[in-house]
Amino acid sequence: MTGLHKRIERLNKLIARGICLLLLIGAGCQPAPEPRAPRAAHVVSPDALVVTNGIVIDGTGAPPIQDGIVVIAENKIVAVGHAADYALPPEARVLDARGGTILPGIVNSHVHESMSPLVRQFYFLRRGVTTACDLATPLVSMKRVPVRTEYGLAARVFFSGPIINKPQGYPGTEEFLYAVNDPAQARRAVDEVVARGASMIKLALEPWNWKLPWEMASRETIPNLTLDELRAIVAQTHAHGKLVRVHLGTVEMLDLALDAGVDTIEHVPLPRLEEIEFQTDASNRDFAKLAPVYEAQLARIVQQKIVLVPTLDKIITWCEGYAVTDARKRLCRQYALTPVRRFYQMGGTIALGDDSGFETRTGMPVAEMRRLLSVGMTSLQVIQASTQTAARVCGHSDELGTLEPGKLADVIVVKGNPLNDIEAMNWISIVIVDGQVAVPFK
Ligand SMILES: [Zn+2]
């Protein structure tokens, strides 16, 4: 800088101060600010893995953080916040979200046949589902599996063990059923399944083998657990610090589940035909009116803080597959969507699970996310249902499901903003599981 330039700069500063002094007298002028220092900078460790330059949605339901940052050390999240608050050393490994959205890895809380490492890698992890919860696991398949497999990184999987039920009860097959005949046997079944590594216990209350929303010629009834057996299972499961999840496809046995004190209801307890008044009004085409007796049961689910995992897309797609007319297809939608919509309006908690596995394999469960939006949930709530709440019903919310310091580092980045368009969840650009980068591929 030349001497002349220095003098001009000094003069400019004096003028600025003089103007300011004049203004201070009349109008409360602030002195010219000093050049801006970085905001209270937290210094990031040189060996950290950092994801930044994106919107952070942390999965707790909190509003998104624009220009956010997630800092990872080894396999844990150590910080989440505004990028401006963090100073990055040149050595830090930085993954650029390129203006996309940084989220917790998605948890699909209800899937089947997910133990294979290739399924966990190609269907789940690479599509952003970092955790899958297998809800009917044969005893022979129950083994804890690492995220690093012989084929590379794969999604976590937690499992329930076989469905505990009466002999010949749902689901009727040997390998997916753990048959019990009395409360003592039921307690021992829980102990064995937990000892083999189950994260939760799965039951079924299914009175018959058919539940389409129109009258059928015949229904074959199937055996079910008694209230005493159910209560024994719930008490024993809770003694192990785990949750009881119950397949419940119709309202018929809902009261029994409520009396037993179960923790989640899987699927939708579909109302009886006489308990639902189907709408013919085109302006309200997907939502019917429910009988007060059924509404009272929904209110009881809410009051008992039971989480609903409605698996809506599976139910509706399955039902529509049997519906030969448009009217019946519409019936399928009203039958499944209306109870969930009312449950949500009453303040009930919903977790995402899509029941994929046997006939269909999904990756990112966007179809289920769309169904949850269609019952009135906000996009932020749908993401919370797919992360924090889903991890909770799988029994792992203490370590997974949100972007918070101390949680395991399962983080994804999608292009775009799913709060504006849920389809953005399909556009995966980064996947980190247990602090290791799985996408983009090395
Ligand atoms: Zn299922």
DSSP 249-275: -BGGGHHHHHHHT-SEEES--BPPGGG
Residue 30 DSSP class: P
For residue 23, the model assigns a pLDDT of 38
CATH number for the domain harbouring residue 276: 3.20.20.140
Instruction: Confirm whether 47 is domain-assigned.
Output: no
- In what side-by-side order are the strands of the sheet with 156-159? 106-111, 129-134, 156-159
Span from the CA of 54 to the centroid of ligand 1 (angstroms): 35
Span from the CA of 134 to the centroid of ligand 1 (angstroms): 8
Span from the CA of 44 to the centroid of ligand 1 (angstroms): 43
Instruction: Confirm whether 123 is domain-assigned.
Output: yes
Span from the CA of 52 to the centroid of ligand 1 (angstroms): 37
- pLDDT, one tens digit per residue, over 386-421 is 999 999 999 999 999 999 999 999 999 999 999 999
Span from the CA of 294 to the centroid of ligand 1 (angstroms): 23
Span from the CA of 86 to the centroid of ligand 1 (angstroms): 44
Instruction: Confirm whether 269 is domain-assigned.
Output: yes
For residue 406, give the amino acid letter: G
Q: Spell out where 248-372 has E strands.
A: 264-266, 276-277, 289-290, 307-309
Span from the CA of 237 to the centroid of ligand 1 (angstroms): 20
Instruction: Confirm whether 409 is domain-assigned.
Output: no
For residue 20, the model assigns a pLDDT of 39
For residue 284, the model assigns a pLDDT of 56
Taken as a whole, the chain contains a residue count of 442
- pLDDT, one tens digit per residue, over 1-15 is 444 455 545 545 544
Q: What are phi and psi of 289, to 5 degrees?
A: -110, 140
Span from the CA of 152 to the centroid of ligand 1 (angstroms): 27
Q: Which residues pair with 134 in a beta bridge?
A: 111, 159
Range 35-42 average pLDDT = 62
Span from the CA of 365 to the centroid of ligand 1 (angstroms): 14
Span from the CA of 336 to the centroid of ligand 1 (angstroms): 16
Instruction: Confirm whether 29 is domain-assigned.
Output: no
Q: Which domain holds residue 203?
A: 106-398
For residue 401, the model assigns a pLDDT of 98
Asked which of 277-286, 359-368, 426-435 is least confident by mean pLDDT, the reply is 277-286
Span from the CA of 110 to the centroid of ligand 1 (angstroms): 6
Span from the CA of 204 to the centroid of ligand 1 (angstroms): 10
CA dist., res. 288 & res. 286, Å (int): 7
For residue 19, the model assigns a pLDDT of 41
Kindly state the helix (H) or strand (E) to which residue 336 belongs, with its residue range.
helix 326-345
Instruction: Confirm whether 259 is domain-assigned.
Output: yes
Span from the CA of 64 to the centroid of ligand 1 (angstroms): 32
For residue 247, the model assigns a pLDDT of 97
Q: Tell me what the pLDDT averaged over the chain comes to.
A: 89
121 and 151 Cβ atoms separated by less than 8 Å? yes
For residue 17, the model assigns a pLDDT of 47
Count: domains in the chain: 1
Span from the CA of 16 to the centroid of ligand 1 (angstroms): 71
When comparing pLDDT for 212 and 274, which is higher? 274
- pLDDT, one tens digit per residue, over 90-108 is 999 999 999 999 999 999 9
Span from the CA of 124 to the centroid of ligand 1 (angstroms): 17
270 and 339 Cβ atoms separated by less than 8 Å? yes
Task: Using the predicted structure, report yes or no on whether residue 226 has a pLDDT greater than 80.
Answer: yes
Cα dihedral 78, 84, 86, 91 sign: positive
For the whole model, what pTM was predicted?
0.89
Instruction: Confirm whether 175 is domain-assigned.
Output: yes
Span from the CA of 314 to the centroid of ligand 1 (angstroms): 9
Span from the CA of 325 to the centroid of ligand 1 (angstroms): 27
Span from the CA of 354 to the centroid of ligand 1 (angstroms): 8
Instruction: Confirm whether 55 is domain-assigned.
Output: no
pLDDT band at 309 (very low <50, low <70, confident <90, very high): very high
